[in-house]
Amino acid sequence: MSTQTLTSPPTQGAKVRRRGLPTWFGAWEISLLVLVVLVTVMASISTPYFATGSNFAITAGGVIGLALMVIPMTLLMIAGEIDLSIASVFGLTGVVFGLCIEGGIPLPVSIVIGLVLGAVAGFINGWLTVAFGLPSLVVTVGTLGLYRGIAYILLESRSISALPVEFTTFSQANIYGTYIPYTFVLFVLMAVFAAVVLHRGAFGRKTFAVGSSAVVSRYSGIPVRRIKITLFCLSGTVAALAGMLYAGYVSSARANNGTGLELSVIAIVLIGGVSMFGGKGSFAGVTLSLVLVTVLTSWMNLGFLPTNVQNTVIGVLMIAAVVVPVVAKKISDSRPLRA
């Protein structure tokens, strides 16, 4: 006859914590902040031109298209979806915007047409995903080719450079007397608004819930389909805005604008700590990731490092962003509980 020793569970209110890694190690945002500071200091010391207002203006202005698309991609991936067609929408709307201008349509109307086109492209992605229960990865791989193909059909290999001077000025110029681009201010305003909505608003809470479990969210009365379609429409609309601003920045609307940019957008979101499976992430982490990648890219460009080296560095960061949290959790789970 064996004797078993039963250990009663801790009483309610007892403080039980899992002994594991220090809290700072699990704070991905803090790790990114440290990396940003280290890389910035190293770049400033090794490359004198790096820490100048001119370099900031050039870098901030050049990255605006990428930065804007990071905003809706963050929301979409937290909701458990992804949009690989975002860069194709970027290119297509730039082409349509340029054709509208070339055809004599007023600038404000051309901008509205571009934004509506982006929203429609996003709606198609969202509707196909939720109506037929298809993986958004598969749907948007298809529309990636579709939207880019339409751009080439419309414009072929030519470009449109005769864009309104007021639009190109806004896309290229800095605020008077500063090194701050107008488009950088636009990005900051949009990012702050999106962060407040995500982390303080009811829509943000529902977005996290949908990403954690769409089934549970649906039974809880959350309109899962509506939220997902809204996020896809937002993705298309912001991509359209980014595509038009980029066309103004380079003074050229071309069918190949933004080709491959979707991978950089997704990499930044993943490095920022957003889960590939949804339900987890923060705008603080994604913003720090955007700053880190931008600083690294600027530093490497000033050092004349080849593109393949730059891609390797970003790839290592992305793998680390996916692997490190998983390894850290396994190590933490393997430690015994301590009362």
Q: What is the pLDDT of residue 337?
A: 55
Residue 163: what residue type?
A: L
Handedness of CA 37, 43, 48, 49 (dihedral sign): negative
Full pLDDT tens readout for the chain, 339 residues: 344 433 333 333 333 334 444 333 347 888 899 999 999 999 999 998 999 999 999 999 999 999 999 999 999 999 999 999 999 999 999 999 999 999 999 999 999 999 999 999 999 999 999 999 999 999 999 999 999 999 999 998 899 999 999 999 999 999 999 999 999 999 999 999 999 999 999 999 999 999 999 999 999 999 999 999 999 999 999 999 999 999 999 999 999 999 999 999 999 999 999 998 999 999 999 999 999 999 999 999 898 788 888 888 888 888 887 787 778 778 777 776 555
Q: What is the pLDDT of residue 97?
A: 98
Alpha-carbon Rg for the chain, nearest whole angstrom, is: 23
Record the pTM: 0.88
Region of 264 please: left (phi>0), alpha (psi -120 to 50) or beta.
alpha
DSSP 8-state code for residue 174:
B
The C-alpha angle with vertex 242 and arms to 99 and 73, in degrees rounded to 5, equals 135
Q: What is the pLDDT of residue 27?
A: 74
Region of 251 please: left (phi>0), alpha (psi -120 to 50) or beta.
left
Q: What is the pLDDT of residue 287?
A: 95
Residues 6+ apart with CB under 8 A from 64: 181, 183, 184, 186, 187, 242, 245, 246, 249
Residues 6+ apart with CB under 8 A from 107: 101, 164, 166, 167
For 131-173, write each residue's pLDDT tens digit. Answer: 999 999 999 999 999 999 999 999 988 999 999 999 999 999 9
Q: Is 83 in contact with 73 (CB distance < 8 Å)?
A: yes
Listed residue (162, 161, 163, 185) closest to 173, CA to CA: 185
Q: How far apart are CA 327 and CA 323, in angstroms?
A: 6
State the first-to-last Cα distance of the chain, in angstroms, to the nearest integer: 31
Q: How far apart are CA 17 and CA 10, in angstroms?
A: 12
Q: What is the pLDDT of residue 157?
A: 87
Q: How far apart are CA 286 and CA 288, in angstroms?
A: 5
Q: What is the pLDDT of residue 333?
A: 74
The residue ranges of every structural domain in the chain are 55-258
